[in-house]
């Protein structure tokens, strides 16, 4: 790295090559612009209220809730990798642990930021802690997500303190060392919290007796969606991590982790996805034949409204469920990078489709006999706010990749493809 | 268990005039918002027009006022509110909304199968001078909170105060009548205590002509409808109105 006036070489780990600072800033600038637009759109929603959105009394939840549920599911790779490495002692996944923490932190902090815009009275968010309704799934979600975001932040601190310059400060070094000792405990706590909030996010809709499209029977107080959400999140989380790592490798032109890590992530994701597809299929059959008819709703009613016909159910279970599950599980697929990434992308699409169906389709289908099927299109403020979250994620990840040891140090010049 | 206030709405009498909607808005200080659409407006009582889907001589239409059904069992909105801003009053059976505690998360709106909950998408506003006619007994709700029919709870308070002043423990039933019931020109909306088997409304609710919307969901709504028409009574079933034309009254 050339030591020019505009250089940040002393902040970058020795032996690591990064692109020049001006080029890095050029990479960040469009994302910064998108973030600025997102902040502006969010500001409009906070200042003028949620009338800036296209949500209404019938479509009380919209794009934000769908994407929140989606990124929280995809961010499950963070806790699940910690669980696999620290609890199940799968050391081969350690190389992606740091990147999993950053991805998780981005997903969860982004989701919480959007949730704070999505409520009508953000300053009253503390009421849930002060006057909690212990029967509400949303209470459990609020508690667990808040706590888990704190856990993720604590897990991020040791990574942050390993920056080349911050490491020079003795007290930081000691703090990092001490914090590192409790990381396995944090991983265990994170796993517990995540199991509950992933489940409760599914429970949010599964308990809606008044929405027979979403309502599910279950075990004790937990509807089946509670368990299905956990399964689908831990199935898609590794796939998302796999995708992110591959994208970073492509963008930076470097080989970051061994092929074995990819294969292991794919296999774990595939097996869990296959389990999820089996469970989801059984659940769907019970719902179609028992739960929904018991509430007076014939299953065909839900699927007579285009574009929400039966193809969406097929897509959710077979095309973006069973197919990627098989592709990810077979060792032959894992040897083809293109097929592997396609399968991982399909698995992530499947979980997003599931969250879309449960959030948007649930509200679109009629409940009263004289209800109409309603459409909803998000406003530019809704889209821009969420685009801002994506931009925030790219910026935070880029900064973390540049200045922090997200991946193991390079072993030799062979692994270096280009100097991007 | 105390009283279980509820309603029986005789759909054969309802003309769809909308007096109940106006009376409700006036009583409960519902703001006049010209920028609101039918999907973003505040209509704690909403009269909907439903037809049997036929045309010509076979066509039949009816008006159905929709409001909070004050569900008694597994009350969907009470169960989901994360901060206890909704409660089922054990003494009255009224499902109460506390706007001052509401976060505005709208989970309760998602949970309600009757779409009887409304979000304050805008700051409350009235045409100049009209604010002088606001009801001093009802607090105006702020932007960003959910509201709904609370069976004119302010009137119940007033009735209780009157009873207390007279040294009585129980209110006189004639002192507590919701605004929509009072305003209906055809006397289509009947209000009373469903827990009292001798109450005329309780008897009416048990008549063969009475039905409840989405009763099979098991939430035990306390708003009953009544009609002599079979096709109207069939509206109790969720899949009964195929091809029906729906309009807001």
CATH number of the domain to which B57 belongs: 3.30.70.20
User: Is A49 touching B (CB cutoff 8 A)?
Assistant: yes
**A416 lies in a domain?**
no
Q: Name the residue facing A370 among B37, B50, B102 (closest C-beta).
A: B50
Q: Residue B239 — very low, low, confident or very high, per pLDDT cuts 50/70/90?
A: low
Are B219 and A210 in contact (CB < 8 Å)?
yes
Q: Name the residue facing B238 among A55, A128, A367 (closest C-beta).
A: A367
Q: Name the residue facing A124 among B66, B103, B111 (closest C-beta).
A: B103
CA distance A366 to A363: 8
Are B79 and A136 in contact (CB < 8 Å)?
yes
Overall number of domains in chain B: 1
Confidence (pLDDT) at B248: 44
Mutation target to probe the A interface, by most A beta carbons within 10 A, among B106, B237, B242, B247 is: B106
Mutation target to probe the B interface, by most B beta carbons within 10 A, among A210, A292, A371, A382 is: A210
Together in a domain, A314 and A261: yes
**A254 lies in a domain?**
yes
User: Is A177 touching B (CB cutoff 8 A)?
Assistant: no
Q: Which two tokens stand for residue A114?
A: 């959007």
**Domain range enclosing B113:** 5-248
Kindly list the distances between the CA atom of residue A97 and the CA atoms of A28, A406, B16, B219, in Å, as whole numbers in the listed order. 24, 8, 64, 47
Together in a domain, A245 and A188: yes
Q: Long-range pairs for A14-17 at CB < 8 Å and ≥24 separation? A: A14/A164, A15/A409, A15/A410, A16/A409, A16/A410, A17/A416, A17/A419
User: Is A136 touching B (CB cutoff 8 A)?
Assistant: yes
Residues of A whose CB is below 8 A from B213: 368-369
Residues of A whose CB is below 8 A from B100: none
What's the burial of B192, exposed, middle or buried (CB within 10 Å: 0-12/13-18/19+)?
Answer: buried
Residue of A nearest to B35 (CA): A51
Q: Name the residue facing A368 among B81, B145, B213 (closest C-beta).
A: B213
**A413 lies in a domain?**
no
**A290 lies in a domain?**
yes
For a pLDDT cut of 70, what percent of chain A falls above it? 96
Residue of A nearest to B241 (CA): A369
**Mean pLDDT across chain B, nearest whole number?**
93
Interface list for A 302-361 with B (CB within 8 A): none
For a pLDDT cut of 90, what percent of chain A falls above it? 75
**A65 lies in a domain?**
yes
E-assigned strand segments in A19-135: none
Please give the average per-residue pLDDT across B211-231, as a whole number: 95
Please give the average per-residue pLDDT across A156-179, as a whole number: 91
pLDDT in tens, A42-58: 999 999 999 999 999 99
Together in a domain, A137 and A207: yes
Overall number of domains in chain A: 2
Q: Name the residue facing B218 among A136, A142, A209 (closest C-beta).
A: A209
Residue of B nearest to A360 (CA): B110
Range of weakest confidence among A132-141, A176-185, B32-41: A176-185
Together in a domain, A40 and A62: no
**Domain range enclosing A34:** 29-54+379-404
Of the candidates A80, A73, A72, the one whose C-alpha atom is nearest the C-alpha of residue A112 is: A72
CA distance A260 to A273: 20
pLDDT at A415 over 80: no
Q: Name the residue facing A296 among B81, B105, B216 (closest C-beta).
A: B216
Are B144 and A50 in contact (CB < 8 Å)?
yes
The length of chain A in residues reads 420
User: Is A47 touching B (CB cutoff 8 A)?
Assistant: no
pLDDT at A149 over 60: yes
H or E stretch at B46: strand B46-51
Strand A222-223 to strand A218-219: parallel, antiparallel, or no bridges (unpaired)? antiparallel
Together in a domain, A203 and A344: yes
Task: Annotate B24-44 with DSSP letters as a single string.
Answer: HHHHTT----TT--TTTS--S
* Cα-trace Rg, chain A: 22
CA distance B94 to B96: 6
Q: Name the residue facing A370 among B82, B102, B241 (closest C-beta).
A: B241
Whether the CA torsion B130, B132, B135, B141 is positive or negative: it is: positive
Q: Name the residue facing B143 among A120, A124, A212 (closest C-beta).
A: A120
pLDDT in tens, A390-402: 999 999 999 999 9
Q: Name the residue facing A301 among B105, B112, B239 (closest C-beta).
A: B239
Residues of B whose CB is below 8 A from A132: 82-84
Are B110 and A139 in contact (CB < 8 Å)?
no
CB A9 within 8 A of CB A3: yes
**A116 lies in a domain?**
yes
Together in a domain, A221 and A264: yes
User: Is A118 touching B (CB cutoff 8 A)?
Assistant: yes
Q: Say which residue the tokens 């469970």 belong to.
A: A279
Of the candidates A358, A352, A348, A304, the one whose C-alpha atom is nearest the C-alpha of residue A325 is: A348
b/e map B30-67, b = 16+ CB within 10 Å: bbebeebeebbbbbbbbbbbbbbbeeeeeeeebbbbbb
**A287 lies in a domain?**
yes
**A7 lies in a domain?**
no
Residue of A nearest to B87 (CA): A133
Q: How do the residues of chain B divide into helix, strand and coil, expressed in percent and rounded to 5? A: 25, 20, 55
Together in a domain, A395 and A358: no
Confidence (pLDDT) at A417: 36
Q: Which two tokens stand for residue B98?
A: 């506390």
Please give the average per-residue pLDDT across A241-246, as a whole number: 95
Residues of B whose CB is below 8 A from A206: none
Query: Number of CB pairs < 8 Å for A and B?
Result: 174
pLDDT at A100 over 50: yes
Residues of B whose CB is below 8 A from A118: 105
Q: Which two tokens stand for residue B182?
A: 């009072």
**Among A342-346, A367-371, B240-244, which range has the highest average pLDDT?**
A342-346
Are B122 and A49 in contact (CB < 8 Å)?
yes
pLDDT at A413 over 90: no
pLDDT at A210 over 70: yes
Rounded to a whole number of angstroms, the distance from the CA of A149 to the nearest CA of chain B is 19
Residue of B nearest to A137 (CA): B80
Please give the average per-residue pLDDT across B137-159, as a whole number: 96
Confidence (pLDDT) at B165: 96
Q: Residue A306 — very low, low, confident or very high, per pLDDT cuts 50/70/90?
A: confident
pLDDT in tens, B75-101: 999 999 999 999 999 999 999 999 999
CA distance B45 to B74: 22
Residues near A405 by beta carbon (within 8 Å), at least 6 away in sequence: A13, A98, A159, A162
CATH number at residue A135: 1.20.1630.10
**DSSP classification of residue A56:** -
CB B2 within 8 A of CB B92: yes
Are B239 and A369 in contact (CB < 8 Å)?
yes
pLDDT at A185 over 60: yes
Q: Residue A155 — very low, low, confident or very high, per pLDDT cuts 50/70/90?
A: very high
Residues of B whose CB is below 8 A from A368: 66, 113-115, 213-214, 238
CA distance B79 to A133: 8
Of the candidates A242, A295, A302, A299, the one whose C-alpha atom is nearest the C-alpha of residue A268 is: A242
Q: Name the residue facing B106 among A61, A209, A369 (closest C-beta).
A: A61
CA distance B170 to B176: 11
Confidence (pLDDT) at A374: 86
**DSSP classification of residue A415:** G
Residues of B whose CB is below 8 A from A208: 76, 80, 110-111
CB A52 within 8 A of CB A44: yes
User: Is A289 touching B (CB cutoff 8 A)?
Assistant: no
**DSSP classification of residue A320:** I
Q: Which two tokens stand for residue B32?
A: 């006049």
Together in a domain, A67 and A162: yes
pLDDT in tens, B13-64: 999 999 999 999 999 999 989 999 989 999 999 999 999 888 899 999 999 9
Q: How do the residues of chain A divide into helix, strand and coil, expressed in percent and rounded to 5? A: 75, 0, 25
Strand B61-66 to strand B223-226: parallel, antiparallel, or no bridges (unpaired)? unpaired
Together in a domain, A38 and A92: no
Q: Residue A411 — very low, low, confident or very high, per pLDDT cuts 50/70/90?
A: low
For a pLDDT cut of 90, what percent of chain B falls above it? 88
Interface list for A 55-74 with B (CB within 8 A): 55-61
Phi/psi of residue B88, nearest 5 degrees = -95, 115
Confidence (pLDDT) at A408: 87
**DSSP classification of residue A416:** B
Residues of B whose CB is below 8 A from A294: 216
């Amino acid at each position: 790295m050339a030591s020019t006036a505009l250089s940040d070489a002393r902040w970058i780990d020795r032996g690591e090559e990064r692109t020049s600072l001006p080029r890095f800033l050029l990479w960040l600038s469009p994302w910064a612009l998108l973030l600025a637009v997102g902040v502006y759109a969010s500001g409009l929603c906070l200042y003028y209220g949620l009338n800036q959105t296209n949500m209404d009394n019938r479509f009380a939840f919209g794009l934000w809730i769908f994407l929140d549920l989606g990124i929280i599911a995809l961010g499950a790779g963070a806790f699940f990798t910690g669980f696999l490495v620290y609890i199940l002692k799968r050391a081969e996944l350690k190389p992606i642990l740091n990147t999993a923490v950053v991805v998780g932190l981005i997903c969860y902090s982004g989701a919480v930021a959007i949730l704070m815009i999505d409520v009508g009275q953000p300053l009253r968010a503390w009421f849930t802690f002060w006057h909690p309704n212990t029967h509400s799934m949303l209470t459990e979600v609020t508690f667990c997500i808040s706590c888990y975001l704190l856990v993720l932040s604590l897990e991020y601190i040791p990574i942050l303190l390993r920056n080349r310059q911050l490491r020079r400060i003795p007290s930081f070094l000691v703090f990092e060392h001490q914090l590192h000792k409790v990381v396995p405990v944090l991983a265990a706590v994170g796993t517990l919290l995540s199991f509950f909030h992933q489940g409760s996010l599914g429970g949010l809709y599964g308990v809606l007796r008044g929405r027979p499209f979403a309502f599910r029977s279950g075990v004790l107080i937990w509807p089946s969606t509670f368990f299905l959400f956990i399964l689908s999140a831990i199935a898609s989380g590794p796939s998302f991590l796999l995708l992110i790592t591959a994208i970073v490798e492509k963008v930076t032109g470097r080989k970051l982790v061994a092929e074995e890590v990819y294969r292991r992530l794919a296999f774990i994701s595939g097996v869990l996805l296959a389990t999820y597809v089996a469970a989801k299929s059984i659940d769907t059959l019970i719902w179609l034949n028992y739960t929904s008819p018991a509430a007076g709703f014939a299953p065909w009613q839900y699927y007579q409204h285009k574009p929400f016909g039966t193809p969406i159910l097929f897509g959710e279970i077979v095309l973006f469920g069973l197919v990627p599950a098989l592709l990810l599980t077979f060792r032959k697929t894992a040897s083809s990078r293109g097929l592997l990434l396609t399968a991982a992308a399909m698995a992530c699409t499947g979980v997003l489709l599931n969250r879309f169906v449960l959030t948007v389709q649930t509200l679109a289908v009629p409940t009263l006999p004289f209800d109409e099927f309603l459409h909803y299109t998000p406003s530019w403020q809704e889209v821009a706010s969420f685009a801002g979250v994506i931009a925030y994620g790219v910026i935070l990840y880029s900064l973390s990749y540049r200045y922090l040891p997200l991946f193991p140090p390079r072993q030799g010049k062979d692994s270096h493809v280009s100097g991007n | 268990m105390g009283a279980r206030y509820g309603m029986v709405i005789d759909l054969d009498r309802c003309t769809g005039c909308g007096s109940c909607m106006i009376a409700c808005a006036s009583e409960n200080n519902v703001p006049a918002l010209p920028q609101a659409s039918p999907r973003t407006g505040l209509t704690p009582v909403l009269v909907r027009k439903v037809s049997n889907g036929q045309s010509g001589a076979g066509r039949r239409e009816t008006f159905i006022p929709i409001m909070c059904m004050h569900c008694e069992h597994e009350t969907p909105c009470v169960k989901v509110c994360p901060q206890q801003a909704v409660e089922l009053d054990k003494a009255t059976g009224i499902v109460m909304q506390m706007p001052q505690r509401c976060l505005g998360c709208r989970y309760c709106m998602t949970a309600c199968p009757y779409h009887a909950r409304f979000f304050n998408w805008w700051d409350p506003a009235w045409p100049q001078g009209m604010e002088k006619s606001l009801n001093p007994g009802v607090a105006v709700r702020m932007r960003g909170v959910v509201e709904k029919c609370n069976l004119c709870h302010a009137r119940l308070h007033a009735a209780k105060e009157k009873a207390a002043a007279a040294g009585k423990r129980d209110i006189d039933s004639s002192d507590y009548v919701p605004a929509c019931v009072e305003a209906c020109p055809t006397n289509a909306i009947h209000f009373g205590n469903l827990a009292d088997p001798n109450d005329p409304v309780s008897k009416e609710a048990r008549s063969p002509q009475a039905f409840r919307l989405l009763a099979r969901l098991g939430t035990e709504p306390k708003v009953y409808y009544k009609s002599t028409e079979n096709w109207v009574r069939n509206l109790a079933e969720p899949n009964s109105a195929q091809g029906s034309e729906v309009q807001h009254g």
